[in-house]
């Protein structure tokens, strides 16, 4: 999992193996301002889809495709 705004995402060797931007975007947790607490903590949302067309990419294998 990666966090939105991290400038080092493109340098990650795992990310560099992915061929399309949609797969990379599925691994990036967007900033969730509704749950962020100012001056305390940032909150991110990360949903995992286990099967189907929009499933989250895992490094070992594709399931259900």
Q: Look at residue 61 and tell me whether its pLDDT is greater than 80.
A: no
Dihedral of the alpha carbons of 14, 15, 18, 22, in degrees to the nearest 10: 140
Structural domain harbouring 2? 1-59
Report the helix count and the strand count for the chain, using DSSP H and E. Answer: 1, 2
pTM: 0.67
Mean pLDDT to the nearest integer, 7-32: 90
Band (pLDDT 50/70/90 cuts) for residue 65 is low
CA pseudo-torsion sign 1, 36, 31, 45: positive
* Structure token digits, residue 26: 């599925």
Residue 44 and residue 2 in contact, taking contact as beta carbons nearer than 8 Å = no
More confident residue, 52 or 43: 43
For residue 10, tell me if it sits in a domain: yes
For residue 25, tell me if it sits in a domain: yes
| Percent over 70 (pLDDT), the chain | 86
- Number of structural domains in the chain: 1
């Amino acid at each position: 999992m990666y966090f939105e705004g991290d400038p080092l995402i493109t340098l990650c060797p795992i990310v560099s193996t992915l061929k399309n931007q949609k797969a990379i975007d599925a691994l990036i947790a967007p900033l969730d301002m509704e749950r962020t607490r100012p001056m305390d903590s940032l909150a991110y949302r990360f949903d995992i889809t286990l099967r189907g067309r929009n499933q989250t990419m895992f490094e070992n294998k594709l399931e259900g495709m």
